[in-house]
Structure formats: structure tokens, C-alpha cells
Amino acid sequence: MIAFVKFGGSIITDKTQQERADVETVRRLAGEVRQALDAAPEMRIIIGHGSGSFGHVYAQRYGIHCGLPPDADWMGFALTSAAALRLNRIVVDALLAAGVPALALQPSTTLVARGGQLARWDTDALERALQHRLVPVVHGDVAFDEIQGSAIISTEQLLAHLATLPALRPTRIVLVGESGVYTADPRSHPHAERIARIDRRNIADVLAGTGGSHGIDVTGGMRSKVELMWRLAQAIPSLQVYLIGPAPGLLCRALLGEAVEEGTVMVAD
């Protein structure tokens, strides 16, 4: 069994303050990954994480996601990459401290974008890492783009690409971020209701009600996440996608398929 996990940037950083990591939450999530591996030794896990107030701040400031012409000043591209790597180091170190054999793999060194979308990615090292029972850790990153010069490739795009590879097809994807998908933004609509299950019967209504993200985010927010995960659920009939918050113990339960009546689960049927 292969499971993908994403630590949302809004959970592991304070997106309103530049480069402020929530180290306590990162450490707790790392511990829950270890607990899940102990409970299900046959499980293989790939972890991705957002850039939160690290990479997104620089990406927006320098317009990396909009594209840079060849003769532009590419310092912002380098600064965005470096910021993402600083957060990645915090995440990987926390996983290692928890006893998870985490291996950092920087996506931008082996991927190419086209029109803001992932076009090619050499995942050989990632697949070899899994064969050796390591836990690859990737992250939203800058990319060279064949059309617009530069792009930002989100963690969801990376995981979605991996899910299309036969050797890496996941049984479960767990996105740790908002506490689920709601009928409206619960921050501005206190009577919004959590949607416990998304399937073909209500996906149109769900997409109509989802919006963007809070804080700086150049990768599209909740709606883009739901759309992308829905396409995966349709392509992989056995796939379960969990969208959950960071409540203690919830990540471990979701990885083990025991997150009943918590967050939102998405399935094709």
C-alpha cells in the first residue's frame, strides 16, 4: 500500500508572517507518521508539503508564478527556491528526529513546466528511495517553464503526477490543512456545514461553494485542490482522499483508514 501525505503550508507555517514555521505542529505530524508506519509496516509513504509563508511570499513578490522572460532579473526565482528549501529542511529534520527515514528530494532539479503545469519530471530517485523503505519528501517548488519562463508547481500537482505512475499509484491521499471542505467559508460564514463525503452526487455543488485560500498562496487555494483531487479519484477508482485538519492523532487515523466522521473524504463512487 502506498499513501501520499501533504502537510499544508497554512498548517506548518504562519502564512501572515514571513518565514515563521510552526515547529510544534511539524514535530507532532512527524510523530504521527511514525505511529502509522509502526501500525502498518507494509505501508509506504510519500510526503509533500506546501511552502506557506516561506516560498509563497517570494513567489508573489517577484511574480514567479506569472512567468519571467529570459532577460529578466532571476534573483527572485533563486530566492523563492531557497525559501522553500529552508522550510523543507525543518520538515525533514523533524521527521528524522521522529524516527522516519525521510529523504529530501528537491523537485525543481528534475522537473520542467509548460504553461504553468508540470510537463516532465524524472522520478527515478524517488522510486528508488521507496524501494529502500525510505520516505521521500517533496515540496511545492519553482520550475523552469518552456512557455512562460518560470512557474510554481504546487505540491498537489506533484502528488497528482506521481499518482499517475503505475508503480506509485496510491490507495490513500491525506491532505492536512483545513478541517475539511465546507458548504461555505467557515471563517466568514459561521453556519457553514462540513461536507463529510464528496462523490459524483455532490461534486458540482461542492466546487460551486469552494473558494481560495487565506494568507498568501500562489497555487489556487481550496477549489484547485478539490478539482485536482477529484480528477485523481475518478482516474483511480480505489482511491480515498482525506482532507483533514491538524487535530492531534487525526493524521495517523487517516493514514490507517480510521478517520471516520472526521474531515472530508472524497471517493469516486
Report the candidate in 195, 217, 191 with the shortest Cα–Cα distance to residue 206.
Answer: 195
Q: List the grid coordinates of 152.
A: 510554481
Given this model, what pLDDT does residue 211 score?
59
Tell me: the pLDDT tens digits for 135-177?
999 999 999 999 999 999 999 999 999 999 999 999 999 999 9
On whether the CB atoms of residues 195 and 206 are closer than 8 A, the answer is yes
Kindly write down the DSSP assignment for every residue of 179-218, as one continuous string: SSEESS-TTT-TT--EE-EE-TTTHHHHHHH----SS--S
Joined together, the cell numbers standing for residue 21 give 514555521
pLDDT at 193: 87
Residue 93 grid cell: 529534520
Residue 65: name the closest of 219, 224, 221 by CA. 219
Q: Once rounded to an integer, what is the mean pLDDT over residues 59-67?
A: 92
Is residue 150 a contact partner of residue 77, using CB atoms and an 8 Å limit? yes
Q: How confident is the model over 106-132, as pLDDT tens digits?
A: 999 999 999 999 999 999 999 999 999
71-100 average pLDDT score: 97
**Residues paired with 141 in a beta bridge:** 153
Ordered by start, the domain boundaries in the chain are 2-266
- The residues with which 243 forms a beta bridge, in sequence order, are 175, 264
Three-state SS at 54: helix
- Which long-range contacts does 98-102 make (Cβ < 8 Å, 24+ apart)? 98/27, 98/30, 98/31, 98/33, 98/34, 99/34, 100/30, 100/33, 100/34, 100/37, 100/135, 101/133, 101/134, 101/135, 102/47, 102/134, 102/135, 102/136, 102/137
Q: What is the pLDDT of residues 186-199, one digit of tens each?
A: 777 888 888 999 99
Give the pairing type, strands 264-266 and 240-244.
Answer: antiparallel
Over residues 202-236, the pLDDT tens digits come to 999 888 877 554 444 444 567 888 998 999 999 99
Share of the chain above pLDDT 90, in %: 76
pTM of the model: 0.92
pLDDT at 217: 45
Nine cell digits for residue 109: 532539479
Distance, in Å, from the CA atom of 196 to the CA atom of 261, rounded to the nearest integer, reads 7
d(CA 261, CA 263): 7
- Tell me: the pLDDT tens digits for 1-11? 999 999 999 99
The architecture of the domain spanning 2-266 is 3-Layer(aba) Sandwich (3.40)
